[in-house]
Structure 1
Amino acid sequence: MPVRAAFAAAVVISLLSSCAGKPPSEGGSLRSAFAAGDAAGSLKPKDDARSPVALTPAAWGRFNKMGGLAGRELTVSSISDIKLRDREVVLTFDDGPMPKKTERILATLDQFGVKASFMMVGQMAKAHPDIAREVVADGHTIGSHTYRHPDLAHMSFDDAVAELEKGRKAVEAATGVEADFFRFPYLADSRKLRQWVGSNKMVVMDVQVDSKDYFSDTPAAVATRTMEALRAHRKGIILMHDIHPRTAAMLPALLTQLRAEGYKVVQLKYGKPPSDVLVASITKPLFATN
């Protein structure tokens, strides 16, 4: 096996094992997840990695009668600027890029006319720079997720900062753009690290709706769980991962139902903060994480 391929495979195995957890007891189906029986459409994948999952003609007929799913662009320079209105969501994908999975997700997002934020692991971006640049070319927001996905809360401050900086630099080298957003692996942070991120002109990406797509569930179960959590919150940042086939499989149905229920997908953009912004104002989470 070539050295680069072996390296990429090792990264994938590490990420998959790090996100493993006990599957939830709930099951469900696409019918239980969504109000309109077959509005989710067919989940029959196409061979092309860039092809989204096809929807049935009946589903597309209903889809085209609804309003647009794409919402506003929200320019932020701190976490306190991420103020979402009722039925506004931000789509985020962690841990990629991953061949075939990321491209399939990109195609689905393009089909629905919405933009997301991709929080890339430095090792993955370095291993798959072509896909990382494709995410940029499609107009999505770029963020970093450390270099090798460790639990920063259990590292020394200096080691955590070094890991964070290495990840950001790797993502920027692969994509050719600045990685202005950052998400803590496992959502494991500390006030000191959050302050460091804010003072270094990055915005922490918190989570209000965790799809828990890292559990070994069916796409239907992931969709059910995500919609139920979102209905309880009515707005927020949705956490997904572009390294799992189940996520790519359920995404068209999820976006269809978001549109059916009147949600809008907001894209976050980074704007330079004014010079008088205090670090203390950019380190407090807007919502409690799940």
Structure 2
Amino acid sequence: MVSRLALFCVLSSLAMAGCASKPPSGSDAARTAYVPVAGQQSLLGRDKAGNPDGNPAFAAFRNAPGRKSFGSLAGRTLTVSSISEIRLADKEVILTFDDGPIPGKTDQVLATLRQYGVKATFLMVGQMASNYPAIARRVVAQGHSIGGHTYNHANLANAGYTRALTDIANGNAAVSRVTGTPVGFFRFPYLADTGALRQAAADRGLVILDVDIDSKDYFKLSPETLAANTMARVRAKRRGIILMHDIHGRTAAMLPTLLAQLKAGGYKVVALQYRRSRMPQLLVDAENASSKPRRM
């Protein structure tokens, strides 16, 4: 049985590597894989209304006296089937979260997004979604869009063309199986891609989400510093896709401050939805591969 300590070590390695930076060729970070935790259960219960995200701490957060609705932060919804269709106006941002889901932290992010009335896109690692299927389904149930982030967060630029496509397909298939939702968005781990892989992904119907504003939340900074740094980058860019990670407690802690500052600055959070023009071939490939009989 794989210990919980093993998962902690893997997540720690990923946190230090940083999803938005390319690790050196052949490094341990490039080979890092998420390790399943046998018997791991969700930390959450149900609230009085029967909602599955009724953890007492988050329930107190949602029901605190004087809590206000920030629905005016929500902007338009973009329904896209290609990268070129993601066109943002001045002071429009898209919130994205990589590497999850994970108990507690993803749930806190969801609670904050719901409080502020905005939607985000979660780029899920296939193995993490398989480990925590209830949380993955909760993301979809609350109206957020989802995407793939490979099966085990490998550096695809160093993986070789065929192996990289298989990893993308397996990751997307795992997320789709868990959530019951087709996976249309994708982000390369470490933003490590190649022209050939980008073209192959686009040819198979995937919308690759690049990054305009990196929160750099993989560095061990205080939530206050993270919020201030991210907001400074938003002001400099004025629009774009924001990269965050829902596996970090500091990210979950800084998110209310960031959203409050976005609202105060007159920004709008744009929601992304995927319009499937055709069945992504990567998903078809993965499903076909899983259905082939194994040779004994």
Shared fold (TM-score, shorter chain, > 0.5): yes
Q: 1:92 to 1:235 in 2, by over 3 A?
A: same
Q: Distance in 2 between matches of 1:227 and 1:56?
A: 27
How far off is 1:175 after superposition?
A: 1.3
Output the CA distance in 2 between the equivalents of 1:253 and 1:53: 15
Q: 1:174 to 1:21 in 2, by over 3 A?
A: closer
Task: Using the TM superposition, give the Cα deviation of residue 67 of structure 1 relative to its aligned residue in structure 2, in angstroms.
Answer: 7.6
**Matching residue's letter, 1:247:** T
76-85 or 46-55: bigger deviation: 46-55
Counterpart secondary structure, 1:115: coil
Matched, 1:93 2:102: no
AA of the residue aligned to 2:83? I
- Aligned residue pair count: 246
Q: Identify the residue that residue 57 of structure 2 maps to in structure 1.
A: 48
SS at match of 2:136: helix
Within a 5 Å distance, the mapping from 1:228-239 to structure 2 comes to 228-239=232-243
Aligned positions of 1:1-290 closer than 5 A: 3=2, 8-9=7-8, 11-19=10-18, 48-49=57-58, 52=61, 68-273=72-277
Mapped contact 1:8–1:124 kept (Cα < 8 A): no
- How much identity, in percent, do the aligned residues show? 51
Q: Say whether the 8 Å CA contact 2:97–2:122 is kept in structure 1.
A: yes
Distance 2:95 2:260 in 1: 14
1:6 deviation in Å? 6.5
| Contact 1:76–1:270 under 8 Å retained in 2 | yes
Letter in 2 for 1:12: L
Residues 20, 195 of structure 1: alpha-carbon distance in 2 compared, 3 angstrom cutoff: closer
- For the residues of structure 2 that align with 1:84 and 1:266, how far apart are their CA atoms? 8
**Structure 1 position 221, deviation (Å):** 1.1
Cα distance in 2 for residues equivalent to 1:192 and 1:267: 29
Unaligned runs of 5+ in 1: 23-45, 275-290
> Could you say if the C-alpha distance between residues 67 and 132 of structure 1 is closer, same or farther in structure 2, counting changes exceeding 3 Å?
closer
Q: CA RMSD in A?
A: 2.7
Shift of 1:110: 0.3
TM-score (norm 2): 0.76
- Residues of 1 paired with 2:185 and 2:163: CA distance? 20
Q: Contact conserved, 2:73 with 2:263, CA < 8 A, in 1?
A: yes
Separation in structure 1 between the aligned mates of residue 146 and residue 263 of structure 2, nearest angstrom: 24
CA contact (8 A) 1:97 1:120 kept: yes
Moved over 6 A (4+): 53-56
Letter of the structure 1 residue corresponding to residue 93 of structure 2: V
SS at match of 2:79: strand
- Deviations along 1:36-93, one digit per CA (max 9) or x if unpaired, are xxxxxxxxxx962466589895xx6xx76x8800011101111100000000000000
Contact 1:180-1:203 within 8 A present in 2 as well: yes
